[in-house]
Structure 1
Amino acid sequence: MKKINDWVKKNNQLLLDTYASLHELAEVSWKEENTRNFLCSQLDKIGVSYETFEGHYGIVVTWKGVSEAGPTIALRTDMDALWQNVNGEWKANHSCGHDAHMTIALNTIRCLKEINFQPENGCFKVIFQPAEESGNGAKALIKNGVIEDIDYLLGIHVRPINELRFNEVSPAIYHGAAAMLKGTIKGLQAHGARPNQGINVVDSLGAIIAAVNAVKVDPTVPSSAKVTQVRAGGDSINIIPDEAEFSIDMRAQTNEAMDWLVERVIKAVQSGGEANGATVHINIGAQMAAAKPNRLMETIVGSAIKDVLGEKSLAASPVTPGGEDFHFYPKEKPNLQATMIGLGTDLEPGLHHPNMKFNLQAIGNGVAVVTASIIKLFEKAGKQGKA
């Protein structure tokens, strides 16, 4: 553990430089080409084997042990940025911390190499995953078969100041489930002077908003549904519009509550939106699974946090309404032991804010905790065999 802390302290400027490079390379979901190229160039310098894919810009690093007859322990990081208005300019922007996550993952490999760690039995993988913000990046890598041999999986995410302070780290983040509905409405054009001859999709939008807001959720399970986008009409004010689009953001703390909410909201939308004779079509644009606590992984990570940062740094795992597609991995493979580490950074004013800032020294804490957790997982797996 001392070797890890010494490495982090010695390489502080390297961590900051890596972060700065990745921050400037911000690219939105499915377009992370320059980000991938930078990461590959760094992996070549480190000297590890990796695989790239057709159809997306993900990377999977594979570091085999002396003997392959053992567990596969993996670390996953996200790669994409958000598209948002930053001080009057629309641009790709890393306002969710994925640049920090990639910096931690890349330099965890470096740290392990340079402190002369070598897996004895099994394999260590690092998954650089595209398109987390789309909600479909994890599913793409699952289709590529990358989790088939993985037994233990770690993730990490920077946390806002209201959840964790700088130098605090939690062994898990209890994300909620999320679903994004996208819909279209088809009505009938008419002259504005003769609205009775048309079907006004703006009326449908109003009814849909009211219907969604009227859905009653279980007050014991944090849940919400709200219309977040609407588009209708053209340039002419005197025409009854016949086409519209809308989007609905839904959150629930459990997967079961989300399943219920999706079913109820879709029924409400169709009932309200079609009351005037319009036709409504709905599809799920993206969906994220809720986290499920894993006591084994949380115990091991908690031990790593105490060993490298001290007992005062071990914080309770925050419960957050935000979503993360990391949780699709254990949902798809139920016997996969997985947890996402919460990294305290004094992040303000909040995740996804265009001017989000955080204490960059927290990146070193992330490298230390993840590196120590990986070593501890290999030690535990070596004692009890393959999971």
Structure 2
Amino acid sequence: MIHPVIKDAIQKNSEELTELRRKLHSEPELPFEEEKTTALICEYLENLGIPFRRTEPTGVIATIEGGKPGKTVALRGDMDALPVEELNKDLPYVSKEEGKMHACGHDAHTAMLMIAAKALLEIKDELPGKVRLIFQPAEEIAEGAKAMVKQGAMDGVDNVFGIHIWSQMPTHKVSCTPGPSFASADLFKVTFKGKGGHGAMPHNCIDAAIVASSFVMNVQTVVSRTIDAKSPAVLTVGKIVAGTRFNVIAENAVIEGTVRCFDTETRDHVEQQLQHYAEHVAAVYGATAKVEYTRGTQAVINDEYSAKLVQKVASEAFGDVIYNEKPTMGGEDFSEYMDHAPGSFALVGSGNSEKDTEWAHHHGKFNIDEDALATGAELYAQYAWAYLNE
């Protein structure tokens, strides 16, 4: 199942892998602004002789045609950065862009997929089928996968595989369990309208700040009292804006938050309950409520066959590396690809206390243990080889 040429190619190109990741890290670009990153990937693929096409506004889709007929497997690597100020100022490859950094590891994903492509090229004639390479923009705003699918990324694909570097797992460990992996991620906005007036005369007003406060305190019971405890869900209020001045009763209040869960039934229920709670809390105070609920990414549910194949490949390639990471309530738009073909999404550990790489994703001090890069790159390539030969 493990191709020795792939393993040798990854090791042979390990220095280039690190250099690519560091270059990408030092030049972070926000969602749908990844112009330099897209250009770098296009140039790299062109030099390798791999046919590709640039997607709009950014991103790349490429295909390695095997020497034998067969299925098509897709490998996805995302490439956008975050609007986060990097705090690792002593790094030789620190972000050159103020207020922007690769705080989630997408620089690693892109570099790993580039080197995986180079390794697969060495066994191109042996490949029974095709390998689709998806270099995806805008994962952080949950729009990139949709854009890539619309532009043909999954056309003719039989199986799809993705990787996420994970700082909460020890370096080299691999987790890919069948079933839920990442939660769905929805957004909600609730606008309460009361009646403003002078702060000294609240009896003449309907205080939207009080209505909003009551809603925030009560809405948590949607999860704690209306959902089966065996169905995980998170409802978080992250932003409240109310009022205009210290001595003016607030006429309007706006609340924004997010909902995370793993199944459609729970998702539907929370959406309905948000509407119910908002309307009734507003009615108690004589105010009105408007609820806007936006469905974001769907839950990432790993296909059993694909996940077990990842485990088998990882064990044969790296030994005792399988790690059982629990599902996260974080969101991932990789789910868009799984609407079109079965697949799985693996986590590759990059946490190392000695190298200070255990910081949470999206933190200004986030960094990765670069020893994990070769693990990820080889897992990409070996999985493609194994799947096409199944």
**Aligned twin of 1:193:** 200
284, 308, 330: which one aligns with 1:322: 330
SS of residue in 2 equivalent to 1:118: helix
With the length of structure 2 as denominator, give the TM-score of the two structures. 0.86
Counterpart contact for 1:97–1:157, Cα < 8 Å: yes
Structure 1, 266-275 or 23-32: larger mean CA deviation: 266-275
Counterpart contact for 1:211–1:269, Cα < 8 Å: no
Unpaired segments ≥5 residues, structure 2: 90-96, 352-356
What residue identity is the alignment partner of 1:344?
Answer: G
2:133 is the alignment partner of 1:131: no
> What number of residue pairs does the alignment pair up?
370
Matches within 5 A, 1:1-387: 1-54=3-56, 56-66=57-67, 70-87=70-87, 91-113=99-121, 115-118=122-125, 120-161=127-168, 164-172=169-177, 174-215=181-222, 216=225, 217-234=227-244, 236-273=245-282, 275-310=284-319, 312-316=320-324, 318-330=326-338, 332-333=339-340, 336-346=341-351, 347-380=357-390
Judged with a 3 Å threshold, the aligned counterparts in structure 2 of structure 1 residues 373 and 223 are, in CA distance, closer, same or farther, namely same
Judged with a 3 Å threshold, the aligned counterparts in structure 2 of structure 1 residues 92 and 266 are, in CA distance, closer, same or farther, namely farther
Counterpart contact for 1:2–1:308, Cα < 8 Å: no
Counterpart contact for 1:4–1:368, Cα < 8 Å: yes
Judged with a 3 Å threshold, the aligned counterparts in structure 2 of structure 1 residues 66 and 5 are, in CA distance, closer, same or farther, namely closer
Alpha-carbon distance, 1:22 to partner? 1.2
Structure 1 CA distance for aligned equivalents of residues 130 and 39 of structure 2? 24
Judged with a 3 Å threshold, the aligned counterparts in structure 2 of structure 1 residues 64 and 350 are, in CA distance, closer, same or farther, namely same
Residue by residue over 1:93-129, the C-alpha shift from the partner in whole angstroms, topping out at 9 and shown as x without a partner, is 222111111111111111212x333365432111122
Judged with a 3 Å threshold, the aligned counterparts in structure 2 of structure 1 residues 40 and 198 are, in CA distance, closer, same or farther, namely farther
SS of residue in 2 equivalent to 1:205: helix
Structure 1 CA distance for aligned equivalents of residues 85 and 329 of structure 2? 23
Judged with a 3 Å threshold, the aligned counterparts in structure 2 of structure 1 residues 211 and 257 are, in CA distance, closer, same or farther, namely same
With the length of structure 1 as denominator, give the TM-score of the two structures. 0.87
Counterpart contact for 1:212–1:226, Cα < 8 Å: no
Counterpart contact for 1:119–1:378, Cα < 8 Å: no
Judged with a 3 Å threshold, the aligned counterparts in structure 2 of structure 1 residues 133 and 270 are, in CA distance, closer, same or farther, namely farther
SS of residue in 2 equivalent to 1:354: coil
Counterpart contact for 1:61–1:127, Cα < 8 Å: yes
What residue identity is the alignment partner of 2:310?
Answer: V
Counterpart contact for 2:10–2:115, Cα < 8 Å: no
Unpaired segments ≥5 residues, structure 1: 381-387
What residue identity is the alignment partner of 2:47?
Answer: K
SS of residue in 2 equivalent to 1:226: strand
Taking only aligned residues, the RMSD between alpha carbons, in angstroms, comes to 2.5
SS of residue in 2 equivalent to 1:228: strand
Counterpart contact for 2:187–2:294, Cα < 8 Å: yes
Structure 2 CA distance for aligned equivalents of residues 185 and 137 of structure 1? 33
Counterpart contact for 2:84–2:103, Cα < 8 Å: no
What residue identity is the alignment partner of 1:230?
Answer: I
Runs of 4+ in 1 over 4 A off after TM superposition: 85-90
Judged with a 3 Å threshold, the aligned counterparts in structure 2 of structure 1 residues 110 and 120 are, in CA distance, closer, same or farther, namely closer
Alpha-carbon distance, 1:86 to partner? 4.5
Residue by residue over 1:1-47, the C-alpha shift from the partner in whole angstroms, topping out at 9 and shown as x without a partner, is 33223222222221111111111222222322332222222222222
**Aligned twin of 1:385:** none
Alpha-carbon distance, 1:85 to partner? 4.8
SS of residue in 1 equivalent to 2:76: strand
Judged with a 3 Å threshold, the aligned counterparts in structure 2 of structure 1 residues 255 and 359 are, in CA distance, closer, same or farther, namely farther
Counterpart contact for 2:65–2:124, Cα < 8 Å: no
